[in-house]
Amino acid sequence: MQNIPGQDAASSLAEMRKFLFPSFLIATIVYLLFSLHYFTTGLGGTMLLVITLVPIAYIMYVLNSLAAGELLYPRLGLKANIAIASVYIAMCIFSLIYMRVEYESLIYLRAGFFNTPDKIVAVFMLGLVLEFARREHRVLFYLIVFLMLYSVYGSVFPGILGHPGVSWTRVITSSSVEITLGLFGTYAQIGVGVIAAFFMFLGIAQGFGVQESIIKTFTGILAKRTTLIPQTAVVTSMAIATCSGSGAANVAITGQYTIPLMKRAGFPPLYAGAVEASASLGGLLMPPVMAIAG
C-alpha cells in the first residue's frame, strides 16, 4: 500500500480518524469477546468461531489501514476509498450474520447443494480474501488464481496433469461456504481456536515478564557455549508441545524469543529460523497431545 498523496487528503483522513479509531476499537473488542466466549465455554466449536472471526478480522484490517493513513486504492482518491471500504465492511457484516444464522443448514441440510444466497455469500467471502491476497501477498494471489483455473480447466492440461475439471460454482462454494474446507477449514480453525489462545496467553505472560525469565533461565543454562544456544529452541519447543499440539502455534510462541536470541549470538537469520521450525515440528512428537492440532 502507499501513503495517501496530497495534504488535503491527509487532512481529510485525519478528520476521519476520529471515527475510524473508535470503529477499529469496537471491532477489536467484539473480536476479543467472541474469542473469550469460546475459550471459556467452548460453545459452538471452532467452525462457528472461525466463520465469525474471519469477517471481523477483515473489518479490522480495512479500518486499521485507513486509520494508519493508507488507502486501499491510492489512485481513486479518499472518497472512493471510503466508499469501497464501506462496501467491504457491509459485505463482511452480511456474510457474518448470514453464515451464523444459516450455520446448521450450511453444514447438515445444504452441504453440496447450496442455494442462491449461499452462493452470493460465497462470492463475497472468496472475493474479499482474494483481494486481500492481491494487495498484501501478490505471489500467493497468482498461485491461488492459477490453481482455481487449473481446477476448472483441467481438461486442457496434457498427460498426467489433465483431469475432467469442476465447475466454478464448486470451486467457489468449496472455498468458502463449505465450512470444513477452504477459508474456514482446518488451518483457519487452528488459527482462531489454538494459536489465538496461545497468543493471548503469551501476551499475558509478556506483561508479567515471563518471556524474559524464560530467556534468562535457558540462557544461563545453555549459553555458556555458543553452540548450545540453538538448544534453547529445542527445549522450549519440547515444553510448549506438551500442551499445544500445533506446530504453527509452537513456532509462533517460542520463535518470538528463540530466533532473536540465536541471531544475537551470531547465527544467520536463515539458520535461526530453520532451527526453530525443526524444533517445533519435532516437538509434535511429545505426549500427551502429540500433534493433535496438526
More confident call, 45 vs 245: 45
What are the cell numbers at 23?
470503529
Distance from chain centroid for Cα 88: 18
What are the cell numbers at 286?
511429545
Instruction: For residue 18, report the phi and psi dihedrals to the nearest 5 degrees.
Output: -60, -25
| Selection from 27, 20, 26 nearest residue 58 by Cα | 27
Sketch the domain layout of the chain as residue ranges: 7-183, 186-283
Give residue-wise pLDDT tens across range 5-58: 555 555 666 677 778 888 889 999 999 999 999 988 888 888 999 999 999 999
Give residue-wise pLDDT tens across range 138-196: 999 999 999 999 999 999 998 898 999 899 999 999 998 988 888 888 888 888 888 78
User: By three-state DSSP, how is residue 284 classified?
Assistant: coil
Q: How many residues does the chain have?
A: 294
User: By three-state DSSP, how is residue 280 classified?
Assistant: helix
pTM: 0.72
| Selection from 284, 3, 55 nearest residue 192 by Cα | 55
As a whole number of angstroms, the distance between CA 74 and CA 78 comes to: 8
As a whole number of angstroms, the distance between CA 83 and CA 38 comes to: 33
| Cβ neighbour number for residue 178 with a 10 Å cutoff | 22
The predicted pLDDT at position 26 comes to 92
Beta-strand runs (E) in 136-182: none
Give me the helices (H) in the chain, please: 7-41, 45-67, 78-101, 103-104, 116-136, 138-152, 168-174, 186-190, 196-207, 210-222, 231-244, 247-264, 269-283
Give residue-wise pLDDT tens across range 96-133: 999 999 998 988 888 878 899 999 999 999 999 999 99
Within 13 Å and on the Cβ side, how many CA atoms surround 140? Answer: 9
